[in-house]
Chains A and B, each alone.
Chain A
């Protein structure tokens, strides 16, 4: 399972509240990602990281920020949660396998913003 954990696994929060989701990996992977999954949209990339303190935006980054102060942790923050951010959030890592990078996913966090 590539040693990826996400916390919390479920969270309910109110509109306007700050929320931080944590992704933790134990295998020293360089590349880490945050995606969101919504019905009818598949998974969409929010932000990704290519090393400690090195991050970049993905397709749907508005309203989200990320930080990576240690190799093993990649944090996703919703500064002021909105109902449109109700979603399932997946963290992923890239692992070099047979000459190409494959992405492996954590178990997901279901976030509900009321």
Chain B
């Protein structure tokens, strides 16, 4: 079974600065997908960014980018130019590529609470 670890229960950053959230995972599979989700106080789960393990290039979505280190099984999220609206819980998630089509569920980390200081 796969496990996902987020070692930072809480992070704080000044508005407009850059912050990096850590995620490590354990798997015996060679191909898989990784995701970051954002959960603001509204409780809605919002997909932020995804990474296919077979792609060496790190994914980027506007101010959000990842540092994917496959050998180290590390998948950190970098948020540039932090904004007040970025304040939320952030969850790292893993999905196997070997399931039938899209059936497999996600394995989540326990989350990192990100605080943005004005």
Q: Which residues of A contact B (CB under 8 A)?
A: 30-31, 33, 35, 40-45, 48, 50, 56, 58-59, 88, 90, 92, 94-96, 100-105, 107-108
Shortest distance in angstroms between B8's beta carbon and chain A's nearest beta carbon?
13
Chain B, interface size: which category? 20 to 34
Cα separation A96 to B52 with both chains bound (whole Å): 14
A-B contact count (CB 8 A): 63
Q: Are A45 and B44 closer than 8 Å at their CB atoms? A: no
Leading 3 A-B pairs by shortest Cβ distance = A101-B102, A45-B105, A94-B102
- In the complex formed, the residue of A with least CB distance to B39 is A37
The answer, yes or no, to whether B16 is at the interface (CB within 8 Å) is: no
Cα separation A61 to B50 with both chains bound (whole Å): 27
What chain A residues lie within 8 Å of B91 (beta carbons)? 42-43
